[in-house]
Amino acid sequence: MRREEMTYRFLAVLVLSLMFDVRTSFAIERGIVRTYVPQFANSNLGANVATILTLRLWTTLRPRPIPNPTNLFFGRGEIKWSPRVLDEQSADAAAIAAKNADSHMALWGGVQEYGSGVVVDANLTIPVITAVAGGAQTWTVRVRGVQLELGLPSPTYQFSPLVISREVVDKYSRPNQVRLCETKEVDCRGTALGNSFIAQRIDGDFALATASNKFTGWAYLPDLSEAQNEVVDFTAALISYLRTDFEQSERLFDRIKGHKVESLVLNDSAILAGISQYRQRKALDGLQAIHAQNPYSRYAVQALVMAGIELIGASSAGESRNSQLKAITELVESYRHLFAPRDRWLANADRCLRLLK
Domain that holds residue 302: 4-12+246-356
> Residues 133, 268: one domain?
no
Task: Assess if residue 240 is contained within a domain.
Answer: no
Task: Assess if residue 148 is contained within a domain.
Answer: no
> What is the tally of structural domains in the chain?
2
pLDDT range class, residue 56, cuts 50, 70, 90? confident
> Residues 51, 182: one domain?
yes
Give the global pTM.
Answer: 0.84
Task: Assess if residue 233 is contained within a domain.
Answer: no
Task: Assess if residue 232 is contained within a domain.
Answer: no
What are the residues whose beta carbons fall under 8 Å from the beta carbon of 343, sequence distance 6 or more?
Answer: none
- 163 forms bridges with which residues in the sheet? 119
> Residues 80, 185: one domain?
yes
pLDDT range class, residue 195, cuts 50, 70, 90? low
Task: Assess if residue 237 is contained within a domain.
Answer: no
pLDDT tens figures, 78-113: 888 888 999 999 999 999 999 998 889 999 999 998
> Residues 201, 307: one domain?
no
> Residues 124, 207: one domain?
yes
Task: Assess if residue 250 is contained within a domain.
Answer: yes
Residue positions counted in the chain: 357
> Residues 186, 327: one domain?
no
pLDDT tens figures, 7-49: 433 333 332 333 333 332 233 334 688 899 999 999 888 988 9
Q: How far, in whole angstroms, is CA 178 from its chain's centroid?
A: 26
Task: Assess if residue 143 is contained within a domain.
Answer: no
pLDDT, residue 179, reads: 86
- b/e burial code for range 195-232 (CB count within 10 A of at least 16 → b): bebbbeebeebbbbbbbeeebebbbbbeebebbbbbbb
What is the average pLDDT value for the chain, to the nearest integer? 84
239/137 Cα distance (integer angstroms): 10
> Residues 163, 28: one domain?
yes
pLDDT, residue 176, reads: 67
Task: Assess if residue 334 is contained within a domain.
Answer: yes
Domain boundary among 227, 261, 284: 227
> Residues 178, 32: one domain?
yes
Q: Is the pLDDT of residue 252 over 90?
A: yes
Q: Is the pLDDT of residue 311 over 70?
A: yes
> Residues 170, 316: one domain?
no
> Residues 160, 265: one domain?
no
> Residues 223, 251: one domain?
no
Neighbours of 39 (CB within 10 A): 21
> Residues 215, 252: one domain?
no
pLDDT tens figures, 153-169: 999 999 999 988 888 88
